[in-house]
Amino acid sequence: MSDPASPRSDTFGPDLAEVFGPSHSDGGPDLVQLLTPEGERVHHPEFDHDFSAEELRGLYRDMVLTRRIDVEATALQRHGELGIWAQLLGQEAAQIGAGRALRPQDYVFPTYREHGVAYCRGVDPLRLLGLFRGVDQGGWDPTENNFGLYTIVIGAQTLHATGYAMGMQRDGVVGTGDPERDAAVIAHFGDGASSQGDVNEAFIFAASYNAPVVFFCQNNQWAISEPIERQTRIPLYQRALGFGFPGIRVDGNDVLATYAVTRAALQRAREGNGPSFVEAYTYRMGAHTTTDDPTRYRLNDELEHWKLKDPIERLKVYLRRNGLVDQEFFDDLDAEAKELGHHLREGCKALPDPEPLDQFGYVFSEMTDEIAAQRDEFAAYLASFEGSHS
């Protein structure tokens, strides 16, 4: 039996080696890029934006702080303060570019790795730790920042996003021409999720109802140990056409391009022109989670190659080269990152454990007699140990 992922030699389909290139491919000719890995500003005929110096410094700051969140959380896991952490190292530009393209009235459906987007939405990063520490399963109010709860079942949230967008249509907040009113949804997912039925159903529903949703796929090349070639035989962004809406591949390590492309996609959705698919071509520099060991399945070569495309470094080079920052900016940011780290370290350790009886709360909007009886019985059982010594 031939390996289905091996390059084909028949005349019916494209040669996979040609389609994908090596696993450290540059993303191909359709990749939208505004800032090269070397920090050179390039222009794109369709997707561009005139970034002010303040915007550029802001995006840089966002990425640095997001990386700090990730580094601190990873360290907290190593110290036993978190059970697990899903790292985003390397995906800062993809998340900040997408997160900053949003308006307050837009709504975000994240996976469990969208720490940078959460930060953009104003969710206290400390809130993200609860799920990974095991003190809650999503410690923020999704209605407060229009940032949904982390969804662990791969791809399930893309349907929620589509339904939410259909709700927006019914609320008359799509295509009114009022920028304060018109809204859209962004659904985050990864390359692995693109194989899920739910994601494909979400594409179909969104297309069928012309729902204002942007499907934002961070193709970080790896679904735990499985390379992108195991999920798809064509570049992911090309799938969109088959569902009837546009797909764009953007350099996900280029915060400027990701911002510009996502902004355009969201605007298109808000204006009532329907869904679109953004493939942010990026790389998972870290492990899938802190329990994963990428040395078992990928070459260090590849990692070294992607290190040269670091999303933060290239913007730093650009800012410096163009005299848009001084040493004070970096010093201030460093102090801010340190403060954030302190907040996370101290805050994490201070997160209270839930009480044993808390597990009975919130199964329903109001407690049922059945669950109340189980709670009371368990409370009496626990109370029976009071005063006794084991």
Partner 1 sequence: MTSKITLAKGLNMGLRKAMEDDDKVLLMGEDVGKLGGVFRITDGLQKDFGEDRVIDSPLAESGIVGTAVGMALRGYRPVVEIQFDGFVYPAYDQIVCQVAKYTYRSQGKVKMPIVIRIPFGGGIGAVEHHSESPEAQFAHTPGLKVVACSNPVDGYWMIQQAIAHDDPVIFLEPKRQYHADKAELDESATPEPLFTSRVVRAGSDATVLAYGPTVKTALKCAEAAESEGRSLEVIDLRTLSPLDMAPVYESVRRTGRCVVTHEAHVNLGMGAELAARVTEQCFYSLEAPVLRVGAFDTPYPPSRIEEEYLPDLDRVLDAVDRTFAY
Give the active site residues: 284, 288, 297
**Which pair of structure tokens corresponds to residue 137?**
């399963």
Strand runs labelled E in 100-225:
107-109, 185-190, 213-219, 222-223
Query: How far apart are the C-alpha atoms of 55 and 58, rounded to whole Å?
Result: 5
User: Does 127 interact with partner 1 (rule: CB under 8 A)?
Assistant: no
Query: Are 151 and 157 within 8 A, CB to CB?
Result: yes
Angle between helices 53-78 and 125-133 (to 10 degrees): 30
Selected binder of partner 1 within 85, 189, 205, 306 (CB under 8 A): 205
Query: How far apart are the C-alpha atoms of 353 and 358, rounded to whole Å?
Result: 10
Of residues 208-227, which lie at the interface with partner 1 (CB under 8 A)? 208
- Strands 226-227 and 222-223, by their bridges, are antiparallel
Of residues 129-188, which lie at the interface with partner 1 (CB under 8 A)? 136-139, 141-143, 148-149, 151, 153, 156, 158-171
User: Does 353 interact with partner 1 (rule: CB under 8 A)?
Assistant: no
Query: How far apart are the C-alpha atoms of 167 and 261, rounded to whole Å?
Result: 24
Minimal distance in Å, beta carbon 151 to partner 1?
8
Sign of CA dihedral 77, 83, 88, 92: negative
User: Does 377 interact with partner 1 (rule: CB under 8 A)?
Assistant: no
Q: Which is nearer to partner 1, 102 or 248 (CB)?
A: 102
CA distances from 43 to 32, 305, 311 (A): 9, 24, 17
Minimal distance in Å, beta carbon 213 to partner 1?
9
Closest Cα partner for 359 from 338, 378, 387, 337? 378
What phi, psi does 2 have (nearest 5°)? -80, 150
Selected binder of partner 1 within 26, 201, 226, 271 (CB under 8 A): 201
- x/- track of binding to partner 1 for residues 279-318 (CB under 8 A): ----------------------------------------
Q: Which is nearer to partner 1, 53 or 153 (CB)?
A: 153
User: Does 365 interact with partner 1 (rule: CB under 8 A)?
Assistant: yes
Give the single-character DSSP code of 64: H
Query: How far apart are the C-alpha atoms of 91 and 253, rounded to whole Å?
Result: 7
Q: Which is nearer to partner 1, 122 or 167 (CB)?
A: 167
Selected binder of partner 1 within 362, 383, 384, 390 (CB under 8 A): 362
- x/- track of binding to partner 1 for residues 81-120 (CB under 8 A): ----------------------------x-----------
Which residues in this chain contact partner 1 in the complex, by CB under 8 A? Answer: 109, 136-139, 141-143, 148-149, 151, 153, 156, 158-171, 197-198, 201-202, 204-205, 208, 361-366, 368-370
